[in-house]
Amino acid sequence: MKKLVEKFSEQLVRALEIGRSFSFQTKSLSFDHVVVSGLGGSGIGASIVQEYVYDKLKVPFVVNKNYFIPAFVGSNTLFIACSYSGNTEETQAAVEAARRKKAVIVCITSGGALAAFARKHQYPLIELPGEMPPRACLGYSLVQLLFVLKSTKLIKPTFESEIHTAIISLNKNEKKIQKDAAVLAAQLKNKYVAIYGIAGIEGLTIRFRQQLNENCKVLSWHNVIPEMTHNEIVGWRSEHPDLAVVTCYHKGDYDRNLKRLSILKKLLSQYTGSVYNIELKGDSYWERAFYFIHLTDWVSVFLSEMNGHDAMEVKVIDHLKSHMAKK
């Protein structure tokens, strides 16, 4: 996993190359909504893209993490099926349902049943490099979603220059990112972790949580401000020495939410001595997003080592899949 994280900026370079070679042809480029179906490491990119397009897309953007699809899916739906392995059973079921409802379908995968499905029905197919854990290929899948939206003229191509700048920044600051990640990982050792982010980066905080779950074998949860300060905040009323809190924000976030976060941190410090901050750095959404992803990926790698776990091992998921495969 460490080697895969080290190559994150290289992955982004390759992802841009793959995306630029993609061409999309359909009778109509007029869509009423966009649905992306994907789970786990294959689906988290859609959650992050969803927040990027929140104030850009003129039609609803829905992330589907289920066997079933929304009732509104039809011929005016752009339906993107994303499964790194190509064998995610929920995504296979969802894309087959979308086919029956005559949606416009694009498939993103490294192979498997989804690639075979795309070829059989002659759907546009973006093929990714294979034989890696899906969670280590976020750069590949996420960037392709942006190129599909660009090809259908749903978003402008400005993201390309933002990603290019992010790559330069990651390479320039790699040593400091690793150093900062190692410090935070040491602070989280042997702790459960609560992650609180500002609205607009929930997808990123979910990604961080998932990396702690899979790489570190750590129980963790997340919530978003301002919603968290309307409910979960009430649950904080006793000491939790085994719990660490990580708050995630950018200095340009909405001032009322930053004020809520400031008040929240003072409250939390009464109940745990482990309250830490991650400030997202960069001048654009994608600079900040990829900085955060890379930093927290390193946190998960270092923490897995400190806790004595193999970051690659996910035996419990393999166990579940083997039992699900039984008739």
> pLDDT tens, 242-279?
999 999 999 999 999 999 999 999 999 999 999 999 99
Asked whether residue 245 is assigned to any structural domain, the reply reads yes
d(CA 139, CA 90): 22
Amino acid in the structure at residue 252: G
User: Look-up: residue for tokens 């029956």?
Assistant: 100
What's the rounded mean pLDDT across residues 161-190?
A: 97
Asked whether residue 320 is assigned to any structural domain, the reply reads no
What's the rounded mean pLDDT across residues 200-220?
A: 96
Write down the H helix ranges in 220-284. Answer: 255-268
Confidence of residue 131 (pLDDT cuts 50, 70, 90): confident
CB atoms within 10 A of CB 10: 12
In terms of Cα–Cα distance, which of 142, 150, 292, 147 is closest to 208?
292
Instruction: Confirm whether 305 is a catalytic residue.
Output: no
Helix (H, G, I), strand (E, B) or coil at 318: helix
- Does 145 share its domain with 192? no
Distant-in-sequence, close-in-space partners of 246: CB < 8 Å, separation ≥ 6: 184, 188, 193, 194, 195, 196, 208, 276, 277, 278
- Does 206 share its domain with 79? no
pLDDT (0 to 100) of residue 235: 96
- Does 190 share its domain with 96? no
- Does 22 share its domain with 113? yes
Range of the domain at 302: 173-306
Instruction: Confirm whether 321 is a catalytic residue.
Output: yes
Domain count, the chain: 2
Instruction: Confirm whether 230 is a catalytic residue.
Output: yes
d(CA 16, CA 155): 16
- Does 67 share its domain with 135? yes
Query: Angle 40-309-304 (CA atoms, 0-180°, nearest 5)?
Result: 70
Share above pLDDT 70 across residues of the chain, in percent, rounded to a whole number: 99
Confidence of residue 48 (pLDDT cuts 50, 70, 90): very high
Out of 230, 239, 259, 319, the active site residue is 230
Helix (H, G, I), strand (E, B) or coil at 247: strand
Asked whether residue 97 is assigned to any structural domain, the reply reads yes
pLDDT tens figures, 184-200: 999 999 999 999 999 99
Asked whether residue 62 is assigned to any structural domain, the reply reads yes
Out of 90, 162, 202, 214, the active site residue is 214
Token reading at 325: 């495969």
Q: Which residues of 220-245 are buried (b: 16+ CB within 10 A; e: fewer)?
A: bebbbbeebbeebbeebeeebeebbb
pLDDT tens figures, 62-91: 999 999 999 999 999 999 999 999 999 999
d(CA 244, CA 275): 6
65 and 210 in contact (C-beta within 8 Å)?
Answer: no
User: Look-up: residue for tokens 């841009």?
Assistant: 16
Which CATH number does the domain housing residue 197 bear? Answer: 3.40.50.10490
83 and 114 in contact (C-beta within 8 Å)?
Answer: yes
Mean pLDDT across the chain, nearest whole number? 95
Query: Angle 81-82-88 (CA atoms, 0-180°, nearest 5)?
Result: 95
